[in-house]
Each structure stands twice: as C-alpha cells, then as structure tokens.
Amino acid sequence: MLFYSFFKTLVGKEVAVELKNDVVLTGTLHSVDQYLNVKLNNVQVVDKHKYPQLLALKNCFIRGSVVRYIQIPTGEVDTELLQDAARKENAPQKAS
Amino acid sequence: MEEPLDLIRLSIDERIYVKCRNDRELRGKLHAYDQHLNMVLGDVEETVTTHEIDEETDEEIVKKATRTVGMLFVRGDVVVLVSPPLRTS
Amino acid sequence: MATALKEWKDNEVFVITCDGRYIQGTLAGYDQLQNLVLKEAQERVYQLPKSDDEDTLEMVPLGLYLIRGDNVAIVSDIREGVFEQQANSNFEGFENAEGIHPVVQAKF
C-alpha cells in the first residue's frame, strides 16, 4: 500500500507515464487505485510525430500492469518522509 | 539479515544499481520500495542499450543511450536485479 | 477505483490493447478487472507511415466486442474533432508515424 498512498499524494500533479510499449504520456494525475492503475487528465503524447494516432487521447485510464516507469516532479516529494514510510512498510516482522 | 529484501532495506538513501528488462539499467538513490520491488529512485541515470545489425558488414552495432530523470517510479515487474551501493575496490 | 471507467459508461471511447490494436466503440460495460464490452466496436487499422499506395486508415467493423482486461493497455475518451481533422487533412503529420508496439511483458 506504500505506493498507492504515495501516488495519492501526487493527485493533481503533472506526471509522465512510460508504458511497456514505449509510448510516453504526460498529464495531470487524476486518480490511482491499489493496483496502481492510473488515470490521467489532459493527456499529451510525448512523441507526436511517431504516434499522431494518439493525439485523440484526452483523459485516459492506464492499466498498472503496462506501466514501466512514472516520472514524478522532484519538488513535490518529501524524500525523508518517503524513506521513513518505506522503512516502516518493510520493517522485519519480528521487530515488534 | 534474514531475507533477500532486507538487503534492499539497508540501501535506502543510498545509490543503487537496478537492472531492468529490455537492456535498461538504472542508477539512482533509493527512496522507497515494496515487496514487489516497485521502487522510487532519485537523481536517476538510465542507460538503454540497443543492438543493431549493420546491413552491409553484418556486424553488430551496440549503442548506449543515457538520460537523467529527477525522480522515477519503477514498476517491480520490470526489475531483474538490484545491487547495493558500489564499493570502491 | 473500480469506478474509474464509470464516467465513460455509454460514451464513445477507444482502447489500445496490449498487442497494439486500436479499438473504438461505445463503452457498454466494464468490471474491476477492466474487462470491457464495446458496442458498435470498430478497429482503426493504420498503415504507417503514411504512403501514397494505400489508405492510411481503414475502419473495420467488429460489432459487439468483449475485451479481456489483461489485454487492455489504455482506455481513453476522445478529444473532439481530432479524428475528423486528421481524416480531412489526409493524415497530415503521419509521414513518420509508427504503429503502437505490443506491450512486452515478463513471462513467469
């Protein structure tokens, strides 16, 4: 649930989603679910000359399973908080 | 250290090397990961290696393209291996 | 976000499948696995890059179509006028276009 929570904090921010079919889409993160399916608003295709057929994309749903990377705006992330959350999420079971 | 992923836990806030599918390699600072090996890396350098066959000489040409990304979420299912910070030998 | 596709119910959408196909239709139904039912579905078959020898776009009628969620990459609503404008300009800007590649998944 760590990344689900993390992406919820980025709703409304601009992200670039790189798919496993090499298409890169930018847009405003509208929502995310527990499978890390994402919905983007106001989508732009990064390589318009290569994929003009995708210019008709406006608001889109991207299945989490086809995502390779998501580029995140650096200034929007509190890295210290994120690291602490990751340490907690992955803490050894016996520690408690 | 009990489990493989404990190794990665110790690498939080360190620069790591991640090998991904399709001849992609990442180097960056590990900020977060989960049990699927989804990760968030900072100050990332990605190297993509492509292989082409020269039509005339039939020789293989290996090209490497590098780019940098400020912060990147990597989906765990593309990750092949993760290596902790390189120690100077 | 089982409701992610709700706002497009009964609207015209297009789907990019994992094998790179491009299917357009009215979203008649969906579930939380992104299994989709498209009414009056048509496949947009592009010949790319654009050439003078053949039509750049062929619309293939498919009828009522169910797409299994595993094979869905993108579902999108349609930016108004784009398809019309592209057809009317005889696909200007498609000179260096490529088909959508298949999604490469790990085999487990």
Q: What is the pLDDT of residue B32?
A: 96
Give the closest residue to A63 by CA, choosing from C22, C14, C79, C16: C16
Best probe of the A interface among C7, C8, C12, C16, by most A CBs < 10 A, is C16
Identify whether A93 is part of a domain: no
Q: What is the spatial distance between Cα A15 and Cα A29, in angstroms, rounded to a whole number?
A: 6
Identify whether A18 is part of a domain: yes
- For residues A16-36, average pLDDT: 96
- For residues A25-38, average pLDDT: 96
Residues 18-47 of A with CB under 8 A from C: 19-23, 25, 31-34, 37, 39, 43
Q: What's the whole-model pTM score?
A: 0.92
ipTM value: 0.92
- For residues C49-78, average pLDDT: 94
pLDDT cut 90: percent of chain C above it:
82
- Give the count of domains, chain A: 1
Identify whether A58 is part of a domain: yes
- What's the per-residue H, E or C state across chain B? CCCHHHHHHCCCCCEEEEEECCCEEEEEEEEEECCCCCEEEEEEEEEEEEEEECCCCCCEEEEEEEEEEEEEEECHHHEEEEECCCCCC
Q: Do C104 and B21 touch (CB under 8 A)?
A: yes
- For residues B34-40, average pLDDT: 96
- For residues B26-37, average pLDDT: 96
Identify whether A70 is part of a domain: yes
Burial A6-42 (b: 16+ CB within 10 A, else e): bbeebeeebbbbbbbbbbbbebbbbbbbeebbbbbee
Q: What is the pLDDT of residue B5?
A: 87
Q: What is the CATH number of the domain that holds A55?
A: 2.30.30.100
Taking the Cβ of residue A81 and every Cβ of chain C, the question of whether any pair is shorter than 8 Å is answered with no
- The parent domain of residue A78 ranges over 2-87
Identify whether A92 is part of a domain: no
Q: Do C78 and A56 touch (CB under 8 A)?
A: yes
